[in-house]
Structure 1
């Protein structure tokens, strides 16, 4: 993100926060940040900086309690963005054009997404993503998030009727998900499956099946090459994470300078992604029983 902020033409790196002052300073030194970039030993300290807080808001810790998250978001007058970097890559728009073409793709029938990587022993013991008090959703909340988001994107963000966890979920001794799968079913018969795991070889696949065509991407979340992707066409010479920062900075600037209203697109689809993930986790906890998704 620091690199992306530096690359985005309308954003500047102002401060870095970590859980200790030493970590923040070390990160700044290792990445050669200029002396103007402040370092803080807590995230609260970053938000208390008057040059930063005016463009940010305190976001609640990720939680399965979606209702609480929604209530807090409604009370906030400022907006944050989730790191769905691939949603800002130009190839996504080209892919949507193909999926929207009834002569080439036809009607959507199913979506299958997989995001896995083999975590080492240190990661599985010490990373914040395996700590229930820091990120209780584990692999589901980390890489599973992208699987859910790409499925909803393909379905034009229409929520499924039911979500069912697949048997075989792996949890660590603290109860955090290390590996799981789920199936999603819509009322019209459309089906989606997802698999996310910290225990398997690196895979970032999505396959979208229609009545007339099939779309397959084997690096949907992070292109293996920053400067090219499976769909090649004229685009800006910036990686997708910088395009994300650029768009976020544009939205913030329009609110600050032109009194524009916040764009409701991103919080809306973020909430829907969280609703599906909450349903997957609840199904895991209930022995893979189907869970109705309520908007």
Structure 2
């Protein structure tokens, strides 16, 4: 890492890796220097597409590349434990996509590895890094709507996804919850922390993954969250948080909003919109900037996406899966 540039490695070459890399190359203080895939051909094609100097046909070569300051892990989440763990053990800093891992046990292992090797580790929960979501949280924390009473959030895709698709493959951590439900669960955690109670119900596929899941989370103070995710219907993807003194509504695409509305009794609604300086709505640059800020500051985790928060979300996802009966290969009964 230099004063002018943070050098990135990209692990995996799928759609989210391409989106993140496209945003990185637009940042003047980021340099993408290497990419790795299990396929040499795929890595070389990705490198040619984005002008990346080094392309590796195995993950270990990228992990061993000492010219890489931080690796972005963009594999399907069933491979996150292996890919991120390989990089951390080799001394690389890591930004790992969500869902962070298959379960809380694997997540704890990655956090332990990061601390053992004194490396930076962060979940790529871009929602938390979004300037509007950060503004929303600040308003709630400052008491703008009073004590939080209820949270709602939903995220569903229309599909249909064939049985061979990764979203229906237990070996790849398939199902609505880990791919989509992680956003509603993370939104509730952001505002209320880890819940005391979890109830849930789901419709399962023939393969044993959840096609859609509904969950109710409760907190000791009396707050409640209703959350939904689906692979069989395109939901409104809205969110709201209601307190004793008001409500905040986030319209479609709550995980990546361009505006939200604050409602308080006796006042006109207040709209908060994404500032032009924050760039276009569909950008992963905010999380990249947070990683680079933290690395330059010598931090080993981000206060915006703290590791304990990631572990707490994984524990809640585990509890939901336990209620609905989704188990992945190797997890046991």
Q: What SS does the corresponding residue of 1:14 show, helix, strand or coil?
A: strand
Aligned equivalent of 1:266, options 306, 312, 316: 306
Q: Is the 8 A contact 1:10 1:250 kept in 2?
A: no
The aligned counterpart of 1:141 is: 178
Aligned equivalent of 2:53, options 19, 37, 45: 37
Q: Matches of 1:94 and 1:148 in 2, distance apart?
A: 19
Q: Is the 8 A contact 1:90 1:235 kept in 2?
A: no
**Post-superposition shift, 1:191?**
0.6
Q: Matches of 1:39 and 1:229 in 2, distance apart?
A: 39
Alignment of 1:165 onto 2:200: yes
Q: Is the 8 A contact 2:250 2:259 kept in 1?
A: no
| RMSD over equivalenced CA pairs, Å | 2.5
Q: Is the 8 A contact 2:218 2:225 kept in 1?
A: yes
Pick 1 or 2: higher relative contact order, CA cutoff 8 A, min separation 6: 1
TM (norm. structure 1) is 0.80
The aligned counterpart of 2:163 is: 125
Q: What SS does the corresponding residue of 2:208 show, helix, strand or coil?
A: coil
Equivalent residue pairs, number: 265
Matching of residues 144-293 of structure 1 within 5 Å: 144-155=181-192, 157=193, 159-166=194-201, 169-218=202-251, 219-223=253-257, 228-230=258-260, 231-232=272-273, 234=275, 236-239=277-280, 240-255=283-298, 260-263=299-302, 266-285=306-325
Q: Matches of 1:86 and 1:69 in 2, distance apart?
A: 19
**Post-superposition shift, 1:202?**
4.7
Matching of residues 1-80 of structure 1 within 5 Å: 1-29=20-48, 32-34=49-51, 36-52=52-68, 55-56=70-71, 58-60=83-85, 62-64=101-103, 66-76=104-114, 77-80=118-121
**Post-superposition shift, 1:28?**
4.1
Instruction: Call closer, same or farther: CA 1:94–1:55 in 2, change over 3 Å.
Output: closer
Instruction: Call closer, same or farther: CA 1:42–1:135 in 2, change over 3 Å.
Output: farther
Q: Matches of 1:261 and 1:88 in 2, distance apart?
A: 17
Structure 2: 5+ residue stretches without partners: 1-19, 74-82, 86-99, 261-271, 327-333
CA-to-partner distance for each residue in 1:267-288, whole Å, 9 max, x for gaps?
Answer: 11111111111110011119xx
Q: Matches of 2:46 and 2:300 in 1, distance apart?
A: 35
Structure (1 or 2) with the greater strand fraction: 2
Instruction: Call closer, same or farther: CA 1:39–1:62 in 2, change over 3 Å.
Output: same
Instruction: Call closer, same or farther: CA 1:278–1:89 in 2, change over 3 Å.
Output: same
Structure 1: 5+ residue stretches without partners: 287-295
